[in-house]
Amino acid sequence: MSPSRNIPTWQLRARFAAALSAMYGAEVPAYPTLVAVSAAVNAEHLATHPQARRLGSADRVTAERHGAIRVGTARELREVATLFAAFGMHPVGFYDLREAPSPVPVISTAFRPTTPEELSRNPFRMFTSVLATDDRRFFDAGLRARIQNFLARRALFDPELIAWARRVGADGGCPAAAADEFVARAVAAFALSRDPIDKAWYEELAAVSAVAADIAGVATTHLNHLTPRVLDIDELYRRMTAAGVAMIDAIQGPPAGSGTAVLLRQTSFRALAEPRRFRRVDGTVHDGTLRVRFGEVEARGVALTPAGRQRYDAAMAAPDPAAAWHLHFPGTDRELAAQQLAYYVGGDPTKPVVYEDFLPASAAGIFRSNLDGDARRTAADDDSGYSPQWLAGALDTDLRDPYALYEKAASCPP
């Protein structure tokens, strides 16, 4: 390999995803089990359901992951955007989890590849949340000022790494000789830190919201979870339960047995306690544990059009979504395509456009299922102004509209 050869962003993204997976596997022992069970379920499913390949090649699905990270400020968000752009991952969509049934004080987007070609090369995506510090319903003026002060003093990313990422993004890749170091440095930015955590500060934030403590109670960020994709999530759920892993009560998203797989179904198990170090007020450092990180797995189906999404939201609002499902949704690709409820390449029902994004209710459920309590929220007016425009401004780049991307994917064959 010539040292001057350029490694394109998609190869950097594939290496980034694989290296994050290796790191997370070393950090969270249950994760490799989840990956192994997912791989076994996928191999068996593909052997008996060859038509499942229409939702993604075996190679793509085997390598497919999403991660989740949480940051504290607009500046940190901008740095994340620069870093992920070097891997060909761009912000798509706006999620306001403050409005979910169990509110979480964050707003979010997903960084991901945006074209069918890039997605098929490697679809790695990162659900990225920023703490809604300006929302008075969660944080009073005093606490807000102290959070801002704490966050202003930390640097999540080495400025050199961000400057390097900016060059890689602009060049569309990096020289082969530098690629390993670049990827390794990016991955290291998301490792769990062994630095002692200020116990009193962490606990004060945790009393308001466990997510606030995870974000602003520590001086670093870390992967919160890394999620493999599985083709039969009901089977995965049965196997994990049979293996003695306590899963959350339900699979989030569309109910089982609803015909054509649409959107996204997810489930997770609670993390075991992880060793962390704490510094007490008297300055002494002690070993302790936190249960913040967990395992999640997901199944992806066809992307819905705005009309299809309305049907989905109506079905899910029913007291028993599984029972109500067929009142709202036809069960086959052919009908979904004919009624323009879902995206198919060229309108051909054998060529579904896979859903590449997230669902706010499921995301809030995933947050919620892994927290010890709901966020404490008062009835104050929210004058924070968080919106898609705010997020785009903070990111200093356009927020892509998921529907426009699906529309485009459906209109131009890959």
Nearer to Ni ion, 118 or 296 (CB): 296
User: Is 68 a residue that touches ligand OOG (CB under 6 A)?
Assistant: yes
User: Is 70 a residue that touches ligand OOG (CB under 6 A)?
Assistant: yes
In the numeric block, which tokens belong to residue 194?
Answer: 């062994």
Please name the residues in contact with 317: beta carbons below 8 A apart, sequence gap of 6 or more.
Answer: none
What is the smallest separation between the CB atom of 187 and Ni ion, expressed in angstroms? Answer: 18
* Amino acid residing at 138: F
Note every long-range contact of 234-241, with CB atoms under 8 Å and residues 24 or more positions apart, other chains counting.
235/41, 235/45, 236/37, 236/38, 236/41, 236/267, 236/297, 237/267, 239/37, 239/40, 239/41, 240/34, 240/37, 240/269
* Residue 122 binding target from ligand OOG, Ni ion, none, CB below 5 to 8 Å by type: none
Nearer to ligand OOG, 56 or 228 (CB): 228
User: Is 363 a residue that touches ligand OOG (CB under 6 A)?
Assistant: yes
Helix (H) or strand (E) run with residue 109 in it = strand 106-112
CA 388 to CA 402: how far, in whole Å? 13
DSSP assignment string, 150-183: HHHT--SS-HHHHHHHHHHHHHTEEEHHHHHHHH
CA 199 to CA 217: how far, in whole Å? 9
User: Is 224 a residue that touches ligand OOG (CB under 6 A)?
Assistant: yes
Nearer to ligand OOG, 305 or 369 (CB): 369
Residue keyed to tokens 């029972």: 323
What is the smallest separation between the CB atom of 94 and ligand OOG, expressed in angstroms? Answer: 14
Report whether 130 contacts 76 (CB < 8 A).
Answer: yes
Nearer to ligand OOG, 214 or 333 (CB): 214
What is the smallest separation between the CB atom of 252 and ligand OOG, expressed in angstroms? Answer: 8
User: Is 9 a residue that touches ligand OOG (CB under 6 A)?
Assistant: no
Report whether 296 contacts 237 (CB < 8 A).
Answer: no
In the numeric block, which tokens belong to residue 270?
Answer: 């609670």
Interstrand relation of 125-131 and 65-71 (parallel, antiparallel or unpaired) = parallel
Interstrand relation of 264-269 and 295-300 (parallel, antiparallel or unpaired) = antiparallel
Residue from 35, 366, 391, 405 binding ligand OOG (CB under 6 A): 366
Span of 1-9, 49-57, 347-355, 363-371 interacting with ligand OOG by CB under 6 A? 363-371
* Residue 189 binding target from ligand OOG, Ni ion, none, CB below 5 to 8 Å by type: none
What is the smallest separation between the CB atom of 305 and Ni ion, expressed in angstroms? Answer: 24
* Residue 129 binding target from Ni ion, ligand OOG, none, CB below 5 to 8 Å by type: ligand OOG
Residue keyed to tokens 């620069």: 82
Residue from 24, 138, 367, 406 binding ligand OOG (CB under 6 A): 367
Span of 5-13, 15-23, 278-286, 362-370 interacting with ligand OOG by CB under 6 A? 362-370
* Residue 267 binding target from ligand OOG, Ni ion, none, CB below 5 to 8 Å by type: none
Nearer to Ni ion, 344 or 355 (CB): 355
User: Is 129 a residue that touches ligand OOG (CB under 6 A)?
Assistant: yes
Residue from 358, 361, 402, 406 binding ligand OOG (CB under 6 A): 358
User: Is 266 a residue that touches ligand OOG (CB under 6 A)?
Assistant: yes
Give the footprint of ligand OOG on residues 291-310 (CB under 6 A).
296
In the numeric block, which tokens belong to residue 213?
Answer: 């403590």
Helix (H) or strand (E) run with residue 216 in it = helix 210-216
Residues that bind ligand OOG in the complex, under the rule CB under 6 A: 68, 70, 127, 129, 224, 266, 296, 358, 362-363, 366-367
Residues that bind Ni ion (CB under 5 A): 68, 227, 296
